[in-house]
Amino acid sequence: MKAILFDDFGGPEVLRYGDIPDPVAGPGEVLVKLKAAGLNHVDIDIRDGVSRFDFAMPHILGIEGAGVVAALGSGVTGLAVGDRVAVSYIRTCDQCEWCNRGQDNLCENRRLFGEHIPGTYAQYMLAPASHCMALPDQVSFADAAASLVAFGTAWHGLVARGGLILGDTVLIHSVGSGVASAALQICKAAGATVIATARTDEKLERATEDGADFVINYTKTNVNDSVMEFTKGRGVDIVFDVVGGTAFQQSMFVMRPYGRLISIGAHAGEVVDFDIIEFFRRHISYISSHTQTRDELRHVLDLIARGTLSPRIHSTYPLESAADAHREMSSRTAYGKIILEIPE
Ligand SMILES: [Zn+2]
């Protein structure tokens, strides 16, 4: 099969479009013929060699993918060749304490496609049958590939972990990212008021089209002053932070008592100082969140099928041009997701 492979860490130029033997489905596994793959910033970290994940070379990147069932391993029931599926990107053991609790995103034996095991920048992938989620006819392969990480992560952080409710005011940092733009849609569908920040007016225009109530260009305006002005000194109930660093540090000063600071990423700074006194005096909760359960993924796919949520695809590249797609992602000009189309 064709795949994007790399043998050494480095820039986009290390990605090569090459051939590798087709994988063969083992017991309980499904061979999926991929139609679309989604890019994530972690792909760049892995390619650069700073991700701290263990995997074998040559490696195939790609967390998100959707396609059709091409072959079934022994013992697989409930799926047929030709079925449209999206693949849950956390390969879990389905046996440990956390899997048994339905909190499979915390599986003790989990391995992520594209991080620890071969991913979706390829014509085929292997997945356990339990990880293949039926794709509703209304959801395209590209939309599915664009949704798993973004909507799954945002849903788990805001709803399952953060307790988002009608009437909350939410500050979303760096709204152009896949997860943050998905968070905006979830907040609006849930009846929240959203303040969004970004570094370009173009991204803020897109956020306004998606329902943001107030937008702030953080390169031109003091975010905290603007938030306090918009909320008439009240502050926000939730901060949804995908970036960490200074944004994380400053967030507590615009949160009202009982505010929830939801942290799902730290590309702008992994280690920060923060004022413990501000936290405890105002009953602020720090809520950490990572990935989501398969059940939550099925739920967001259903909401996409119903039109409640709608993935934002910034651009689409053929698989062989994955290096160009990486260059665009590194430029951080996208609003929403970058997708690879997989050839027949
Ligand atoms: Zn497990």
Residue 175: φ, ψ to 5°: -70, -10
Rg (CA), the chain: 20
| Full residue range of the structural domain in which residue 137 is found | 2-150+292-341
Looking at residue 53, what is its pLDDT? 87
| One domain for residues 144 and 27 | yes
State the pLDDT confidence band at 269, using cuts at 50, 70 and 90: confident
For 212-229, the pLDDT digits (tens) are 999 999 999 999 999 999
Q: How far is the CA of 102 from the centre of ligand 1 (A)?
A: 9
CA separation for the pair 112, 305 (Å, rounded): 25
Q: Verify that 139 and 247 share a domain, yes or no.
A: no
pLDDT above 70: percentage of residues in the chain: 100
Cα 20 to averaged position of ligand 1 atoms, centre (Å): 29
Give me ligand 1 centre to Cα 272, in Å: 32
Number of other CB atoms surrounding residue 23 within 10 Å? 17
Does residue 155 sit within a domain?
A: no
**Residue 96 CA to ligand 1 centre (angstroms):** 4
The yes-or-no verdict on residue 10 having pLDDT over 90 is yes
Q: How does the average pLDDT of the chain come out, rounded?
A: 95
Q: What is the pLDDT of residue 198?
A: 95
Q: pLDDT, tens digit, for every residue of 244-259? A: 888 888 898 999 999 9
CA of 89 to the centre of ligand 1 (A): 14
User: Residue 112 C-alpha to ligand 1 middle, in angstroms?
Assistant: 12
Q: When comparing pLDDT for 101 and 333, which is higher?
A: 101
Given a cut of 90, whether residue 71 has pLDDT beyond it is yes
What local confidence, expressed as pLDDT, does residue 2 receive?
98
Q: Do 132 and 79 meet the contact criterion of CB atoms below 8 Å apart?
A: yes
Query: Edge-to-edge, what's the strand order for the sheet holding 193-198?
Result: 214-217, 193-198, 169-172, 236-241, 255-263, 285-288
Beta strands 236-241 and 214-217 are unpaired
| Residue 261 located in a structural domain | yes
Distance from the alpha carbon of residue 95 to the mean position of ligand 1, in angstroms: 5
Average pLDDT over residues 67-81: 97
243 and 195 fall within a common domain: yes
Residue 127 Cα to ligand 1 midpoint, Å, equals: 15
Q: Which pLDDT belongs to residue 12?
A: 98
- Give the model's pLDDT for residue 336: 85
Rounded Cα distance, 49 and 53, in Å: 9
Residue 334 pLDDT greater than 90, yes or no = no
Q: How far is the CA of 335 from the centre of ligand 1 (A)?
A: 34
Task: Give the number of other CB atoms < 10 A from CB of residue 306.
Answer: 11
User: Ion ligand 1 — residues with CB under 5 Å?
Assistant: 92-93, 96, 99, 107
pLDDT digit string (tens) for 24-67?
Answer: 999 999 999 999 999 999 999 999 999 888 899 999 999 999 99
- Average of per-residue pLDDT across 84-97: 97
Q: How many CB atoms lie within 10 A of CB 190?
A: 15
Please indicate, yes or no, whether residues 6 and 85 belong to a single structural domain of this protein.
Answer: yes
For ligand 1, the distance from its centroid to the CA atom of residue 291, given in whole angstroms, is: 14
211 lies in the same domain as 320: no
> How many angstroms does the Cα of residue 181 sit away from the middle of ligand 1?
30
CATH code, domain with 183? 3.40.50.720
One domain for residues 138 and 205: no
Query: Ligand 1 centroid vs 202 CA: distance in angstroms?
Result: 42
How far is Cα 296 from Cα 137, in angstroms, rounded to an integer? 19
Give me ligand 1 centre to Cα 284, in Å.
32
Average pLDDT (274-291) is: 91
Q: Same domain for 119 and 175?
A: no
**pLDDT at 249 (0 to 100):** 86
Domain count, the chain: 2
> How many whole angstroms from 294 Cα to the centroid of ligand 1?
12
In the chain, the percentage of residues whose pLDDT exceeds 90 is 89
Rounded to 5°, the CA angle 43-44-46 comes to: 65
pLDDT of residue 153: 97
**Same domain, yes or no, for 12 and 144?**
yes
Structure tokens at 342: 């997989």
Q: Are residues 98 and 48 in the same domain?
A: yes
Q: Please, which residues have CB within 8 angstroms of residue 344's CB and are 6 or more apart in sequence?
A: none
Do the beta carbons of residue 200 and residue 224 sit within 8 Å? no
**94-129 pLDDT tens trace:** 999 999 999 999 999 999 999 999 999 999 999 999
Check whether 206 has a pLDDT greater than 90.
Answer: yes
CA distance 58 to 6: 5
| Span from the CA of 157 to the centroid of ligand 1 (angstroms) | 21
Cα 8 to Cα 89: distance, rounded to the nearest angstrom: 24
Provide the 10 A C-beta neighbour count for residue 276: 9
Kindly report the length of the chain. Answer: 344
- How much is the pLDDT for 225? 97
How far away, in angstroms, is 239 Cα from ligand 1 center?
Answer: 31
**289 alpha carbon – ligand 1 mean position (Å):** 18
Q: What is the pLDDT of residue 247?
A: 87
Distance (angstroms) between ligand 1 centre and the Cα of 142 equals: 28
CATH number at residue 20: 3.90.180.10
- Provide the pLDDT for residue 274: 81
The reply to whether 158 falls in a domain is: no
